[in-house]
Chains A and B, each alone.
Chain A
Amino acid sequence: MSYRAPVEGYKGKIVEVVIGKGDRAVKIGGENILAFNQTFDEGEFPNPPKIAFEVWDMEPQGWAPWVLEPYKDVVSDPAAWAKRCEELGADFVYLYLISADPNEKDTPPEQAAELVRRVYEAINIPLIVYTTGNEGKDPAVLTKVAEVLGGENLLLGPVIKEDFEPIANAAKEHGHCVVSQAPVDINLQKELDVKLARILPREKIVLDPLASALGYGIEYCFSVAERTKHVGVMFEDAMMQMPIIANFGAEVWKNKEPKEREELGIAWEEVTAISYFLAGANILVMRHPEVFNVIREMIS
């Protein structure tokens, strides 16, 4: 029996989603293979995974000094901070509207939206805007952001099963994409996707199955992300064919080990990033610029 290279082809294809518009439009997804199998002719991966850096709308507490270092002169100015991320080479800025949370500063939606506009105007790359997952407050904030930044095609999230409707409707009306977030559960993810897809086309949806850190539950999140991708690509489930965002930066850096030493922290985030990358994530949200450099080299 002679050797035949076991190349596989699949019929499913990840939806191509465009975030941003005009010069700053960035495409994600579009692949019909599993991550990095493009190196052996199984199919196409037209848009390599993209990297987003985090910006907080208030000065972060509890960040290790080494993740704060590259931004330490700009952390009190989200627009300047976002600009810094762009200079460091990020594909997206991921703006975390933590201050709007009722448990934080409970900033009014208008103020949050105004801040988003300021950040957006300071940069030339597309913007991802996340709230904290507070179903009572998020819809008011995200619908306001959608309105104020109308037509700019931001990626807004997370939408969860409790609050997807108002946010998805606002995204539809004002031309944005949304993040469909389910708690590490492939069935709940699909349920929410089905509901969302009645409001928005699939080309406007990105999936967030949640991403925990190495050593802190990554095995669950890794396998759920991997399965989600398989269901879309191998088993052609249209509701699971949207690109995946893996938002692990904050998950990594809140733990003891990454805060102990810089190099250990870099290694911890790096290994976490590579895992999600192999699981099929299309956007990685991370923190340390050195990790970015390693990952960027792997992707290219």
Chain B
Amino acid sequence: MAVKGTDLVKLLPKKTKCKECGFPTCFAFAMKLATGGTEISACPHLSDEVREQIEELLAPPIRPVAIGTGDKALVIGDEEVMYRHEKTFFHQPGIGVLVTDTDDEKEIERKVKSVEEMKFIWIGHALKADLVVLKSASGDKGKFLSLVKKAADMTDGAPLVLMADDIDTLLAGLEACGKERKPLLYAVTEENIDEAISKLGQAEVPLAVKADGLEKITALTEKLKEAGLQDLVVDAGSRTLWEAVRDQIFVRRAALKQGYKPLGHPTITFPCFMADDSRKELAIASALLTRYAGIIVLSDLKEDYLFPLVVLRMNIYTDPRVPMAVEAKIYEINEPTNVSPVLLTTNFALTYFSVANEIEATKVPTYLAIQDTEGLSVLTSWSAGKFNGETAGEFIKKSGIEQKTKNRRIVIPGLLARIRGELEDELPEWEVVIGPRDAAGISSFLPELVGRS
């Protein structure tokens, strides 16, 4: 629910010929303000009260929250849509691992380390978890503090979440890791909210708010806001899959569709408390990831489960308005020579990566001709008329491949067997060979092809 310029102008003084903001009229200023093109401070004629009112209207419907500092900080919230196809999801949820002060030393070290060290390279990005979530479970403050210290020392700035039932333990934990580390403190509840306001009011760290259900959450977030505490992350307490998903949907809808500020905060979720085995935990984590979770806390980081989860996160948070495309050109794989064959496909990034990977694995020197299909996949680009005999023929002629290799065999995707004739008409010098339907078929197809030649 973006604010409209016409709503803002009602609050402005409407001084004619003032122009101190640099705009000809208050109306022009309001219009620009609504789209983020100027700052409210440019108008000197506002009372504090009106300024606050306008700031509130301009604030993003879901408040961004930063956990941690510097380039290691995790920023969540500040989302604008319910569904990724409406625009895009902007801030990837943080994935954390739960470490408790009752875990044994080795276990603690392994888990803490895994947050920074367990990485997966995917299409040129290093994907990993983000947060170390430290929980006081022993009831022994000393134990919790040594856990916090240890985790803070062992990590290279990874954002932390501190979990304890009482405010004093949280405060002590905050001292132990250092305020400047900006951990998220979990949690402010109905029981401790007054104490939290008096003791954490000046702490300048983000706070998690936990209650039983969203209605109770709103009472807490409103009270904290009055006390000037607004960097909040909410947990509606549901610990079954579909209730948790429902709460995620309701929080997002309340914030975006109702403009309801008390729920305009990112969320924290706990698959670690919702499942008794890793597969179920992964199922819950992926459902919550797709449905708006701001933080996802797992019981452990295991490669086989974390890998698909971080890939899903990347997929769901890519910008759907930008096709994933690679540069259209001739790629040289396995050091091709002047007799190497040519494989042709589209510049859809995933097509390129899977085909290139497969060719590489065969060790067969090959030219991979990647045609510009605006990032569309093989069949889609064919239906859109961007990948057919004519366009492919033109691309091959202009690509310079005819100078690079004397081999006049060109392999087209098996899915497009139907363009063979058209392409042969365009490229009379070439023999057009129908390749496999799937990149996976290249491993047997390509060695056979060169064996034949």
Contact = CB atoms under 8 A, between A and B. Distances in A.
B377 A226 contact: no
A110 B116 CA distance: 59
Interface in A214-244: 214-220, 222-223, 226-227, 230
A3 B311 contact: no
Given A37-B249, A183-B383, A188-B383, A294 B311 contact: no
B235 to A, nearest CB: 16
Nearest to B315: A219
User: Which of B286, B320, B377 has the largest number of chain A CB atoms within 10 A?
Assistant: B286
Q: Say whether chain B's binding surface is mostly helix, strand, loop, or mixed.
A: helix
B286 A39 contact: no
Given A36-B242, A39-B245, A278-B291, A1 B260 contact: yes
A256 B377 CA distance: 19
Contacts of B253: 6, 8
Contacts of A266: 279, 304
B199 interface: no
User: Which of A1, A40, A62, A219 has the largest number of chain B CB atoms within 10 A?
Assistant: A219
Contacts of A183: 377, 379-380, 383
A264 B303 contact: yes
A143 interface: no
Interface residues of B, number: 57
A230 B250 CA distance: 18
B354 A271 contact: no
B183 to A, nearest CB: 29
Nearest to A274: B286
B250 A6 contact: yes
Interface in B389-447: 414, 417, 434, 437-440
Contacts of A56: none
B241 A298 contact: yes
B433 to A, nearest CB: 13
B221 to A, nearest CB: 10
A185 B438 contact: no
A294 B276 CA distance: 12
B246 interface: yes
B304 A264 contact: yes
A180 to B, nearest CB: 15
Interface string B288-318: 0011000000000001110111011001101
5 contacts: A37-B249, A40-B249, A103-B437, A183-B379, A257-B307
Interface of A: 1-6, 8, 36-37, 39-40, 62, 103, 183-185, 188, 212, 214-220, 222-223, 226-227, 230, 254-257, 261, 263-264, 266-268, 270-271, 274-275, 278, 290, 294-295, 297-298
A-B CB proximity, top 4 nearest: A6-B253, A39-B242, A263-B304, A219-B315
